[in-house]
Amino acid sequence: MRVLGVDPGLTRCGLGVVEGTPGRPPTMVAVGVIRTPPELDVSQRLVRIEAELVEWITEHRPDAVAVERVFAQHNVRTVMGTAQASGVAMVVAARSGLPVALHTPSEVKAAVTGSGRAGKEQVTTMVTRILQLPERPTPADAADALALAICHIWRGGVTSKLQQAAASRSNLEAAAQAQSRLQVARLRAAVAAQEGKR
């Protein structure tokens, strides 16, 4: 599975592509940051983010996109920009026909470090170790994007397998019920035929 992690933001939007499967060490495919100048109009900044996201999806062909779930912060302006960039990422992914998953910051931290309260330094250190990178990904937005992708591969992959197992089980149950109905119908037909001979 190849996942594009997006750490949304207007000034810096972190991007990280990671490939892997649950239970095995993942590998980094690409990492980067989309930067937009604060003096630009917000709409123009969002257009730039959209264009670069389209390029990343076209170039790296991910199977899914994992975006950090926006949560309320003290700074409303910051959270608004983050939410807008997050919305653009989801729209770009949906237009490309890719499934989108939202992961909370604490969920990502817990997946990567084992603690939902880990700091940015700890997340960056663990991402560097997990992906066996020669140097730490910078800025923190890039490391966070990689952490999101890792989180989705490890957690999303398991969820997907559980959903497949549940679907498989319900398909088996449906097939068993259909077989049972068929046998009952045949039995009734045989009984009716016997009674017809009498």
Active centre residues (catalytic): 7, 68, 141
Contacts of 63 (CB under 8 A, 6+ apart): 1, 2, 3, 98, 99
Paired with 4 in beta bridges are 17, 65
User: 27-52 burial, b for 16+ CB within 10 Å, e for fewer?
Assistant: ebbebbbbbbeeeeeeeebbebbbeb
Packed helices 120-130 and 140-151: angle between N→C axes, nearest 10 degrees = 60
Cβ partners under 8 Å of residue 142, min gap 6: 7, 14, 15, 16, 31, 32, 33
Token match 């926006």: residue? 70
Q: Cα torsion for 140, 142, 144, 148, to the nearest 10°?
A: 180
